[in-house]
Amino acid sequence: MYAQRKIIHIDCDCFYAAVEMRDQPLLRDVPLAIGGEADRRGVIATCNYPARKFGVHSAMSTYRAQQICPNLVLLPPDFPRYRTASQAMRTIFADYTDHIEPLSLDEAYLDVTGLTHCQGSASRMAMEIRKRIAAEVGITASAGIAPNKLLAKIASDWHKPNGQFVIRPQDIDAFMLSLPLKKLWGVGKVTAARLARQGAHCCADLQDWPLERLLREFGKFGSQLFEQCRGVDLRPVATGERRKSLSVENTFDHDLPDLETCHAALPALVNDWQRRMQRAIGERQHKAFVKIKFSDFSQTTVECICPNPSIETFGLLLTEGFERGKKPVRLLGVGARFEELRAQPEQLCLWPG
């Protein structure tokens, strides 16, 4: 049985757009998105709720977003202002606990186990934190409260925007039964579709699968699914862990048949990675890498020393990696490893950065 912690997950509502609407009130009721220009293959980083009513969402191409929402107001990101708002929120968090695990500028886990604020009520602490964010930062945030990180993150999305939801220890078993599998960590649309083809749509379905079947189907990830579908997550709130890398990857609905098709899929991945890198405050890139998983599930990773990789850098790595397998590709990933505190001397990358 896992430890009964009290975890709060705070997640701001459309953070970048919220900061822009705070500073420009006339934008509150119009469709608004933050992202790159369409003619530069830009993507949407986030959008407000009026824009979402048109079907606009993060990671959508700006070109597509402007097609489905012709009146969309598009603004470039202003990261100095977003970092200032993020730091103000972390100052609020620190008034409640020292056990804080930031996930990005706009979300964090807080472990409030055994603390005396609000008579020890994690729900009341979350309510206070959200009220202070609204009053002191000028934006709204949602919160999830649960005995572990998995459930707290699921709960924070339950009553968005500007709401909160609590999952008590005694409610976990019942709550998990009807939870869609796509809510679990690591279950994207491809994995969800694969499970659905075998009759598993919600956690109750997956609970009927023995561990051996999950391991056979998904390897190491199968053991995580076995625990997750029962609401089990033993991970502590990691206050001192330093992030070692940041990457994005995509498992395609249909295998990419050749190198040319892989290169065509690369810009969207790199755009998404660059957008997420803007949130990695203070991290210094050290190595660029490309991960490839072939149709037979064999995989390879190619990397080079490069402190500022460009799409050309990733393209060269992709070409080298594809030559190792020369098979259709089911998954592509791009990313960077961050500089170690005591990095050993290594040969610099001669590829374009």
Return d(Cα 124, Cα 106) in angstroms, integer.
20
* CA pair distance 13, 34, nearest whole angstrom: 14
- Could you say which of 20, 101, 107, 303 is catalytic? 107
Token pair in block for residue 86: 């993020």
Q: Tokens standing for 141?
A: 């945030």
Whether the upstream peptide bond of residue 31 has omega within 30° of 0, thus cis, is no
Longest dimension (CA), the chain: 61
* Residue showing tokens 């969402």: 57
Three-state SS at 101: strand
107 classed as catalytic: yes
Listed in sequence order, the residues at least 6 apart from 227 whose beta carbon sits closer than 8 Å to its beta carbon are 233, 234
Residues 6+ apart with CB under 8 A from 240: none
Q: ∠ CA 332-250-216 to the nearest 5 degrees?
A: 90
Q: Tokens 């606990």 belong to which residue?
A: 97
Q: Is 11 annotated as ligand-binding?
A: yes
Of 298, 347, 350, the C-alpha closest to 321 is: 298
The type of residue at 165 is F
| CB neighbour list of residue 254: distance below 8 Å, 6 or more residues apart | none
For residue 297, is it left (φ>0), alpha (ψ between -120 and 50) or beta? left
272 is in an annotated binding site: no
Query: How far, in Å, CA of 150 to CA of 165, rounded?
Result: 13
The rounded distance, in Å, linking the Cα atoms of 316 and 289 is: 10
- Count other C-beta atoms under 10 Å from residue 224's C-beta: 18
The catalytic residues are 107
Report the binding-site residues. Answer: 11, 106
Report the binding-site residues for Mg(2+). Answer: 11, 106
